[in-house]
Amino acid sequence: MTFDKATTRTPVSIEDLSVVLTDYTENQAEEGEPEVYQTGRFEVQVKYSTGEIKLIQGDLVPHLTTAQITGLMGFMDDMRAKAESEILP
């Protein structure tokens, strides 16, 4: 009886790439404006030579430059303001 040969797997392509930006509020027990938090997460599907697809996911922030973080925070601020002005009475 022989052992199966070990299969070499090499990453060959990036399949789906997803980025989720979240802007959420947390009400505080005391009176005042709610605290606003912004987060970013990513998911990348890596396809291997064996046909297997591995999902890599995590916090997006460590992969961004300061300028990118500032731009995305501004974008989320604008989207919140747009939602408030267009959806709320």
CB-based contact 72:21 (threshold 8 Å): yes
Where along the chain do its domains lie?
18-87
Euclidean distance between CA atoms 54 and 61, whole angstroms: 21
Summarised one tens digit per residue, pLDDT across range 51-63 is 999 999 999 999 9
Tell me the CA distances in angstroms from 83 to 27, 36, 49, 87, 89, one per residue in order: 19, 15, 44, 6, 11
pTM of the model: 0.77
Q: pLDDT tens for residues 58-88? A: 999 999 999 999 999 999 999 999 999 999 9
